[in-house]
Amino acid sequence: MKSSLLVTTALGAVFIAAPAFAQEAVTGYADVDYGNINLDSDFGDNDANAWSIGGAVEIPQQSWGLQFDVRYTDADDLTDQGVIQGTAHVHARNDQGLIGGFAGFTDSDVTDQTWVIGAEGQYYFEQSTLSGSVGYGQIDDADVDIWGATGGLAYFIQDDFRVDGEIGWNQAEDGFGDLEVWSFGLGGEYQFPTVPISVFASYEHQEFDEDIPGDLSSDAFRVGIRWNYGGGTLKDRDRFGAALKPLGGIIGAGFPFF
CATH code for the domain of 119: 2.40.128.130
Please report the pLDDT score of residue 191 as a whole number: 98
Q: Decide if 139 is inside a domain.
A: yes
Q: For the chain, what is the total number of helices (H) and then of strands (E)?
A: 2, 12
Q: Decide if 92 is inside a domain.
A: yes
Q: Decide if 255 is inside a domain.
A: no
Low-confidence ranges of the chain (pLDDT < 70): 1-24, 77-80, 175-176, 210-214, 252-258
- Cα(133)–Cα(123) distance, rounded to whole angstroms? 12
Please report the pLDDT score of residue 210 as a whole number: 66
Q: Decide if 41 is inside a domain.
A: yes
pTM summary value: 0.85
- In order of 29, 62, 254, the CA distances from 68 in angstroms are 11, 17, 23
Q: Decide if 171 is inside a domain.
A: yes
Please report the pLDDT score of residue 6 as a whole number: 41
Segments forming the whole domain that contains residue 80: 2-249
- Report the number of distinct structural domains present in the chain: 1
